[in-house]
Structure 1
Amino acid sequence: MTLPYETEIPTGTPDTVAAVPGRMIEGRSPWVLAWMRLRRDRVAMISLVVIAIIVLVAIFAPVVASVTGHPPNEQYRETGLTPDGLPKGPTGEFVLGTDDLGRDILVRIAYGARISLLVGVAATALTVMIGVVVGLAAGFLGGFVDTVLARLIDVVLSVPFLLAAIALVSVTGPSLSVTVLVIGFFSWASVARIVRGQVLSLREREFVEAARSLGASDRRIMFIDILPNVLAPVIVYTTLLIPVVIVVQATLSFLGLGLAPPTPDWGGMISEAQAYYTTAWWFIVFPGAALLITTLAFNLFGDGVRDAFDPRTERLLKK
């Protein structure tokens, strides 16, 4: 079927559709529109580039060590420390200086990026997975199941997260897996509450009634019909949760409850630099800058993703 005439469509708005002579007018999906809005967000795109650079640095950390010739845990007490035994500042051999043991800060920052990104992505994935399943079950099944799960969500949200995490890590001992599990266990409730609210408004919609009338099971309706409609807020929350997880992991390491030394870790490096901030500024500034840039890039990108999926937020802020 062809249109008898070409429809005039205003340009310059993200919600327009393209009219092609001889073809049906084809609308763009919400995902395409969100990507179009995101591409026009310069801050979000710059943040995405920064995130990509950080990921590449983490992946190619062994290359950085190979180019500098300094393994991450190698102590250069002869060339990496001053005659007084203090860290040496940035030089041609040590681009970002050394720490209190004569180790190359640049190489340790590169390897520390691996830990921060790994914990950030793994803990966030665990958090979102648990939160989505619990939120779907609570919102769709309703009744007694919803009551129990909603109260469980309230209990988890009322627990002082950082204190409980510190207590558990101090009991079980610091390790990468324990850190991921602890952060995921205490973070899923926020995701579950968001998903539950979305599912409560979707479960009475016409497409759900149609699927139910066709004999679809509850599991199929939950994961095939409803889940795709709650992915947008989940993706937005995920992009904003990653920097929070990275900061929590760095905080645990700063308190001595992260990965065991000598594993390079930004929080641990900042903790080790406390005693030298007046005599070796680079020791604390460069790891702190790496943590700041990473979390800021993820936060700004998350804001861009949120505005892309919900452009009404940006319009309200401009009023």
Structure 2
Amino acid sequence: MANSMPGESPRTEETESVLTGEGQPTTTEPVAEKRIEGRSPWLLAWQRLRRDKVAMISLGVIVLVILGAVFAPLATTITGHPVNEQYRQAGLSPDGLPIGPNSTFWLGTDDLGRDIFVRIAYGARISLLVGVVATALTVVIGVIVGLAAGFLGGIVDTILARLVDVILSVPFLLVAVALVSITGPSLLVTILVIGFFSWASVARIVRGQVLSLREREFVEAARSLGATNSRIMFVDILPNVLAPVIVYASLLIPVVIVVEATLSFLGLGLPPPTADWGGMISESQNYYTVAWWFVVFPGAALLITTLAFNLFGDGVRDAFDPRSDRMFAG
């Protein structure tokens, strides 16, 4: 112990290390590091995502599209135009052509005199519904197959891995066109076809993650406690493979939306008079030169929505990847 002056309380090395100035405890760097280490990976990913301006703007666009789809009936209330109402006198020119944007029809009319603004709002419902539900179906199938293949191994892994290879080798769009042509166009068929032929990539991602996790200490501890295979897969391993699955799903939604629009453009989407963006673009084929709004506005809605989902998906991927520097550039 160091010598102290008369009248002063003795100071230990510990006292001197924690007191400065007026005797207030200092905030040391190890404490800050400890706090950072205590944050969950999900919280850290969210904080990185919030710093990505492009991703946040894209998320705002996605929210606006969702609100537009949810409140699509308000478009009818505000304009007074039902989604499938044909205004052959007020909505068509004397030559029978669509009329352009004006105070009555904000985005113009289509070839039957229907309000394009209202139909775009209702079309967002179809695109988002197919995109989200088909992606969810894809993720569920892919996660189950990937977990089983990676964790169980052996003959199960061999069979499922070969099945994944077969699915990935199939020309998806051609098969989708063939199946929809045979069964007839409907919302359910479209979702099932897209979901069934899209899960293989998810399964491959999950399988790779599970192969690296199944020999970890926490899995061995669960086995020693008598946990069943299903419990280990879905309770212990699944939470650790969700991050790459979420990233893939966020990038898959715009792909599904484009596939649905493609099927509709080819006449294999929802039957008329259902409003969907691909069908509207298909109906405008004969009016490119005389009614630009007929193709531009539905096409812009499709482009903006898919671009927003893609940019947001890129942001989610970067948020879960601490090595990414894209969001901090500039």
When normalised by structure 2's length, the TM-score is: 0.90
Report the equivalent of 1:8: 28
Report the equivalent of 2:244: 233
Structure 2: which amino acid aligns with 1:8? T
- 3-state SS, counterpart of residue 94 of structure 1: coil
Deviation at 1:6, TM superposition (A): 5.1
Per-residue CA deviations over 1:222-257 (Å, capped at 9, x if unaligned) read 000000000000000010000000000000000000
Question: Once the two structures are aligned, what percentage of the paired residues are identical?
Answer: 79
- 3-state SS, counterpart of residue 311 of structure 1: coil
8 A contact 1:17–1:28 mirrored in 2? no
Matched, 1:83 2:91: no
Structure 1: which amino acid aligns with 2:29? I
Separation in structure 2 between the aligned mates of residue 107 and residue 297 of structure 1, nearest angstrom: 21
- The verdict on how the C-alpha distance between 1:245 and 1:31 changes in structure 2, with shifts beyond 3 A counting, is same
Deviation at 1:8, TM superposition (A): 2.5
Deviation at 1:82, TM superposition (A): 0.4
- The verdict on how the C-alpha distance between 1:37 and 1:190 changes in structure 2, with shifts beyond 3 A counting, is same
Per-residue CA deviations over 1:107-149 (Å, capped at 9, x if unaligned) read 0000000000000000000000000000000000000000000
Q: Within 5 A, what are the aligned runs for 1:28-39?
A: 28-39=39-50
Report the equivalent of 2:174: 163
Structure 2's unaligned 5+ residue stretches are 1-17, 19-24
Separation in structure 1 between the aligned mates of residue 47 and residue 217 of structure 2, nearest angstrom: 29
Separation in structure 1 between the aligned mates of residue 308 and residue 199 of structure 2, nearest angstrom: 23
Structure 1's unaligned 5+ residue stretches are 19-24
Per-residue CA deviations over 1:37-82 (Å, capped at 9, x if unaligned) read 0011111111111000000000000011111000010000000000
- The verdict on how the C-alpha distance between 1:254 and 1:150 changes in structure 2, with shifts beyond 3 A counting, is same
Deviation at 1:313, TM superposition (A): 3.1
Per-residue CA deviations over 1:268-309 (Å, capped at 9, x if unaligned) read 000011110110000000000000000000000000000000
> Would you identify which runs of 4 or more consecutive aligned residues in structure 1 move more than 3 Å?
4-7, 15-18, 315-318
| Bigger Rg over Cα | 2
Deviation at 1:312, TM superposition (A): 1.1
Report the equivalent of 1:129: 140
- 3-state SS, counterpart of residue 148 of structure 1: helix
- Root-mean-square deviation over aligned CA pairs: 2.0
Report the equivalent of 1:310: 321
8 A contact 1:119–1:245 mirrored in 2? yes
Matched, 1:59 2:79: no
- 3-state SS, counterpart of residue 145 of structure 2: helix
- The verdict on how the C-alpha distance between 1:30 and 1:267 changes in structure 2, with shifts beyond 3 A counting, is same
Number of residues of Structure 1 aligned to a counterpart in Structure 2: 307
Separation in structure 1 between the aligned mates of residue 296 and residue 326 of structure 2, nearest angstrom: 38
